Amino acid sequence: MNETAQNRRPDGPILAIESSCDETACAILAPNGTVLAQRVISQDGHADFGGVVPEIAARAHLALLPNLVRATLQDANIAPATLSFIAASTGPGLIGGLIVGSGFAKGLALALGIPFVAVNHVEAHALTARLPGIVPDGAPFPYLLLLVSGGHCQCIAVEGVGHYRKLGGTIDDAAGEAFDKVAKMLGLGWPGGPELEKLAREGNPKAISLPRPLWRREGCDFSFSGLKTAISQKLAPFGKEPLPRQFAADLAASFQQAVADVVTNRIEHALDMMPEAKLLVAAGGVAANTVLRTALEKTAAQRGLRFAAPPLRLCTDNAVMVGWAALETWREAAERNLPPINDNALRPRPRWPLEDMASRFEAEIPSA
């Protein structure tokens, strides 16, 4: 680190907020990335609707954030006046939640007279593996990221802070979305992914034949809508009759295995497209699935690569990853001798492509 960058390192802790979907989260990080405190509240007002209702989520963030931030500061025994800057997810995500979270962060930063750092939610997932202690011996660039969640399913070449190449993505449903929809077909609770995985433990993953969409096709795009349709066809003969428990478990296990097979096949193609990668990272809520993790770990080992996935608590949306991404961005700007970041004028974005992040280090990010 050059002398200018060293002089511009944050000299106090930072506060981070995540509110891009239905998790209301806050974290306090030391300048070196040590997590001093973190809290996450999983909103419970969506289960009756079978999915996240944006208006309900935004109102819940608004109600929860003040006390959550206060409690997290107390957990860390940190006074607001000692904070170096405040960060918040500013996109992509549900616009109502982004407005609430980033607006709260901007207001607090303004009141304290400190900078606000806008964080790309996907970039935060992409950089989580570099959080101290996650990967033994660290996670140097470049590496291949598999981002699998309710809203995303992408293969991303992570080449540096602000520098990403999307190698492939879903052409229809995200993997997490498919898990939730199939869980609903099976009459399971929401969120569906963990419930389906729990049921699948009772089943035989080879019991029911299911398609593997885009299997061995060129590139590393994903498709899960055909697999979802195949599940509905398997269920059609039962009509409104209750499913036999063993059949439901076998179907859940077979679906889960099909997803794992598709994802690992796509990852093999992505690794062919990124031969320089020495590390495979899985992130996002679906990365918590143990069957998928095991399959990815095996694929990496066969390629002579290291495999890493954050702890389960950091796979789902959280504020620790937001704070760490902000620290990485702050340091990168300092390394380039750029002015200290203050994104007060940056508006929340429901869509914010990773490819746009390089502009942060070339010119001001446009405000709209």
Bind-site residues for substrate: 147-151, 180, 193, 197, 289
- β pairing state of 306-308 and 279-283: parallel
H-helix or E-strand spanning residue 29: strand 23-29
Determine the Cα–Cα distance for residues 269 and 43; give it in Å rounded to an integer: 37
Determine the Cα–Cα distance for residues 317 and 285; give it in Å rounded to an integer: 7
Residues contributing to the annotated binding site: 121, 125, 147-151, 180, 193, 197, 289, 317
Residues contributing to the annotated binding site for Fe cation: 121, 125, 317
Determine the Cα–Cα distance for residues 140 and 126; give it in Å rounded to an integer: 12
Determine the Cα–Cα distance for residues 37 and 206; give it in Å rounded to an integer: 43
Determine the Cα–Cα distance for residues 157 and 153; give it in Å rounded to an integer: 13
The conformational region for residue 113 under phi > 0 = left, psi -120 to 50 = alpha, else beta, is left
Q: Coil, strand or helix: which one is 199?
A: helix
**8 Å CB contact between 330 and 117:** yes
H-helix or E-strand spanning residue 181: helix 175-185
CA 267 to centroid of chain Cα atoms: 18
Name the packing angle between helices 225-235 and 175-185 (round to 10°): 10
Taking CA atoms, 343 is separated from 87, 98, 107, 221, in Å, by 9, 14, 12, 33
H-helix or E-strand spanning residue 109: helix 95-112
Please choose, from the candidates 36, 31, 112, 129, the residue with its C-alpha nearest in 3D space to the C-alpha of residue 77: 36
Determine the Cα–Cα distance for residues 51 and 183; give it in Å rounded to an integer: 12
Determine the Cα–Cα distance for residues 279 and 297; give it in Å rounded to an integer: 11
